[in-house]
Amino acid sequence: MSAALEIAADVRAGRRRARDVLEEHLARIDASEPEIHAFNLVLADEARAAADAVDAAVAAGDDPGPLAGVPIALKDNLCTRGIPTTCSSRILEGWRPPYDATVVARVAAAGAVAVGKTNLDEFAMGSSTENSAYGATRNPRDTSRVPGGSSGGSAAAVAAGFAPLSLGSDTGGSIRQPAALCGTVGVKPTYGAVSRYGLVAFASSLDQIGPFAGSVADAALLLDVIAGPDPLDSTSSPVAPAAVSPVLRDGVAGLRIGLIDELVDADGVAPEVREAVDRAAAALEAAGATVERVSVPSVVYGLSAYYLIAPAEASSNLARYDGVRYGLRVDGGDVATMNARTRDAGFGPEVKRRIMLGTYALSAGYYDAYYGKAQKVRTLIMRDFAGAYERFDALLSPTSPTVAFELGAKADDPLAMYLSDICTIPTNLAGHAAASVPFGTDRDGLPVGVQVLVDAVQEPTMFRVMQALEEAGS
Amino acid sequence: MSADYEAVIGLEAHVELATVTKLFCGCLNEFGAEPNTNVCPVCLGLPGSLPVLNRTVVEYALRFAAALDFHVPEESIFARKNYFYPDMPKDYQISQYEEPILVDGQIEIDGVRIGIERAHLEEDTGKTTHMGGGGRIHEADYSLVDYNRAGVPLMEIVSRPDIRTAEQARAYVSELRGVLKTIGVSDVKMEEGSMRVDANVSVRKVGATEFGTKVEVKNMNSLRSLGRAIDFEIERQVEAIEAGERIVQETRHWDEADGRTHGMRTKEGSSDYRYFPEPDLVPLAPSAEMRTAAAGQVPELPQARRARLIAEWGIAETDARVLVDVEGLADFAEAAVAALTDGAARDVANWCTGDVLGYLNETGLSIEVLPLAPDGLAELVGLVAAGTLSRNQAKDVLAECLREPKRPKQVVEERGLEQVSDTGALAAVVDEVLAANADAVDEYRAGDDKVKKKKRGFLMGECMKALKGQGNPQMLNQLLDERLG
Ligand SMILES: [Zn+2]
């Protein structure tokens, strides 16, 4: 059931043509995309050319790489040379980046075939993929429900079988939460493990690119391709990370797993989600791990700190969309009026809300009380996690407090929407790695995700736990 | 200024660093290229692009630190300065705020220590040209932006308010320029904008310990206008206070044409820059190796060089200053002194600050394109010292050697300029002249001082005439003295 691994193996061995693999996926997109709306743009022609190139390489006796012929969907905040990159915002209308993001170049070099740019909450701000200038994405498991967000399009693309792999970005849970809601695997790597070069920034100190896949092994395959130092990103780790694929079968015997009190018992965690986490813990114990409860007290302040730090950075990162150089421009009598009209017309309400929040948090006289204090909370969270990781190899929690909710259910209540990320945000603040693995369904058949958290650069341990959960859950 | 007041002045110098590439990308840092040709996703601030710090910029800053005795903290932090402006691609400038790369430096001006609070690194902006409406933004039809300059490395050097006069301010900037140029980190041309200096000026009653309200004065594009602007501003503030007015804290623009500073009517944008640490860059922590290497890359600084030349050559402070301040002149003089076989270093210095510099100023040439080599000047000084040329003859010879690729000895031969210093030959001429002018000799002997002086001059003139002006004047005088008794 590891689609990407099988495709790559078959294509490399000449048993299947990349073009045939692609056409199967394009047919599925043709059939279901009108209902799901996972993509802002389907790159059928470009994908056919890329697949043909892979087939030509195989025919010539060359190895196209570990992702040979594997269709992949790219979140539409990853720059693609010559191809529109919108961040699901009107403000980037018509903009075609003159360069590829590092991850885009890496998956292409590994033989993957990009099939399209996926929908997201505008500038990755949201948890439902409803805040998109190009319309909402629907959850393939139940199209009356949201896929989660902000990488909802990437999660939906994998869940709908449009591509076995996709890339998303995770600033406060934007990979893990939609993975949980759509029933896929989603990984937020350690900050600095994957280059951010070419990822349109939301909150630079929190953003991290990561994989979606239908299986843990496929997610490992993709992570191993995209991770690694990049001289174009000063915050990328200069040390090459350990590969995760080779350790998948190492099992969890002897691993110490901690169940995070504050997240398992948090208000708003649905009973069936809570039950799934308990079953996951039991499964790990059955596989030879020890499981204990652990308190990480400061995680309860994570949400508040996040909603100061992320908007503050965003207010600065999004300043450049001023109508002067690219994207939308709405004319005005002078430069300031043009700037204001462009930004008013180009940004949606959630983006405006966060720019205002962030601008306020950084203002003279408020900086210490808001941004400064939030950074202190961040330090506190890191300290508490460090304490937990002295005793535990990995931690466990729900990914999302609830399963997928109905479209529109939280659209008018930003705070309720923000609470969707209460379990995922602390990892971003700490700069650690975490992943969501599907673990059963609720009584309506909606997928539930369990979150595995580890210390920085402990992805190999995380993948061993993920693999064990996948095996126990299926 | 009324004697009751003193000025308190602090200077902020923005210096463009002369690196090959920009601060955060690989684009060329080059003056005068076609607009928007030295640009890339990073310096255009395109979505998704990220800055990567240029290592050479750090090396330059460390070298500057070693030169002016700065403290270099373990770590410094880049910060974002947020404000909207069309020539700023990201609508924030990457700068340093609370934790700059260099702190607590100093420079000595005529025995007075001027503290330098900090020096920090930041990126330059692009350049906007307003089309129509007389080039002003408010009346322009449209504006064009050239981003070649965006991302060029700048170092902002902030003095402490230790400066008291316009003269001292000029000396500080001049010394700073000399240091930056000597250590090879900047061209420091105020006229071309590779160095911009703003002045914070306040006045207070002599003896007061509190500072007055300070005014920031901008837009001075030469040392001369810096001095004029400060002097004007001091006068303006004193007059205002004397008239019972309050000084307003503001930014004022110097207008070279009317010689006054003018308050800016409206401030562009907000003054709340919402600084916060730049999350796209890691803290800057120069390694021990880089620090050590930088210290070894500081050549002799202007002040030390002046002191050495004064001591070794016995020249005046003003001459030493000219030699060291004029690009390449001290190097030329030192090379000439090294090639000297006869004559004094002091003479070399005199020719350099006199005729050589005069020629450079007159022609606008730089010293390295002169046909005269340092050892040519050494040869000229040798010819004078040996008595072969008089000073006046040497001046003519030098003039020719500055224009044409000829050695002084060659010019002397071509012109038959060799001075007659042979005693026998000179004595024969003197005897001949005295015999032919016996009347004059008699009148000399009988006359009073006035007559003696007149006749003596006449006889000397006759001797020189006979020698076509090439007789050694000292020796001729001596021979005349002997014979006239
Ligand atoms: Zn550039």
Could you list the residue range(s) of the whole structural domain that residue A61 is in? Answer: 3-247
Name the burial class of residue B253, with classes exposed (0-12), middle (13-18) and buried (19+) by CB atoms within 10 angstroms of its CB.
middle
Which pLDDT score, from 0 to 100, does residue A291 have? 98
Residue A444 lies in a domain: no
Q: How far is the CA of B22 from the centre of ligand 1 (A)?
A: 7
Between positions 59 and 118 of A, the ones with CB within 8 A of B are: 77-79, 85, 87, 92, 95, 97-99, 101
Architecture of domain B423-484: Orthogonal Bundle (1.10)
Intervals of chain A under pLDDT 50: 1
- Indicate if the pLDDT at residue B417 is higher than 80: no
Given a contact cutoff of 8 angstroms between Cβ atoms, the answer to whether A456 and A293 are in contact is no
Whether the pLDDT of residue B266 is over 60: the answer is: no
Whether B222 and B191 have beta carbons less than 8 Å apart is answered as yes
Any domain includes A206 = yes
Q: Which residues contact A309 (CB under 8 A, 6 or more apart)?
A: A203, A205, A206, A371, A374, A375, A378, A429
pLDDT over 90 (residue B470):
no
Q: Looking at the predicted structure, is the pLDDT value of residue B479 above 70?
A: yes
Residue A84, domain member (yes or no): yes
Count of domains observed in chain A: 1
**Quick one: average pLDDT of B81-86?**
93
pTM value? 0.90
Yes or no, beta carbons of B47 and A371 under 8 Å apart: no
Contact A136, A130 (CB under 8 A): yes
Residue with tokens 């990892």: A427
Using the mean position of ligand 1's atoms as its centre, give its distance from the Cα of residue B41 in Å: 6
Residue A269 lies inside a defined structural domain of this protein: no
Answer yes or no: is pLDDT of B3 > 80. no
Say whether A150 is catalytic. yes
Alpha-carbon gap, residue B170 to B160, rounded angstroms: 15
pLDDT band per the 50, 70, 90 thresholds, residue B267? low
Residue A362 CA, distance from chain mean position: 27
Q: Give yes or no for residue B1 having a pLDDT over 70.
A: no
**The pLDDT of residue B79 is above 60:** yes
**Cβ < 5 A residues, ion ligand 1:** B 25, 27, 40, 42-43
- Report the candidate in B60, B74, B174, B178 with the shortest Cα–Cα distance to residue B119: B60
The catalytically annotated residue of A32, A150, A151, A315 is A150
> Domain containing A90 — which CATH number?
3.90.1300.10
Q: Do B47 and A85 touch (CB under 8 A)?
A: yes
Residue A363 forms part of a structural domain = no
- Domain range list for chain B: 5-295, 302-415, 423-484
Residues of A in contact with B282 (CB under 8 A): 234-235
What is the three-class DSSP state of A264? helix
> Judging by beta carbons within 10 Å of its beta carbon (0-12, 13-18, 19+), is residue A275 exposed, middle or buried?
middle
Q: Shortest CA distance to B455 belongs to which of B464, B442, B468, B474?
A: B442
How confident is the model over B77-94, as a mean pLDDT?
Answer: 96
Cis omega (within 30 of 0) for bond into A150 = yes
pLDDT at residue B264 in the model: 77
Range B432-453 average pLDDT: 89
Of the residues A2, A32, A75, A151, only one is catalytic, namely: A75
- Find the B63 Cα to ligand 1 centroid distance in Å: 25
Say whether A80 sits in a helix, a strand or coil.
Answer: strand
- The yes-or-no verdict on residue B323 having pLDDT over 80 is yes
The β-bridge relationship of strands A71-75 and A113-118 is parallel
Q: What percent of chain B has pLDDT over 70?
A: 98
Contact residues, chain B, for A360 at CB < 8 Å: none
Strand order in the sheet with A447-454: A39-42, A113-118, A71-75, A165-170, A208-213, A185-188, A433-441, A447-454, A394-398, A256-260, A290-294
CB contact under 8 A, A92 and B91: no
pLDDT tens sequence across B270-296: 479 999 999 999 999 999 999 999 999
**How many residue pairs from chains A and B have C-beta atoms closer than 8 A?**
100
CA-CA-CA-CA torsion for B155, B160, B164, B166, nearest 10 degrees? Answer: 10
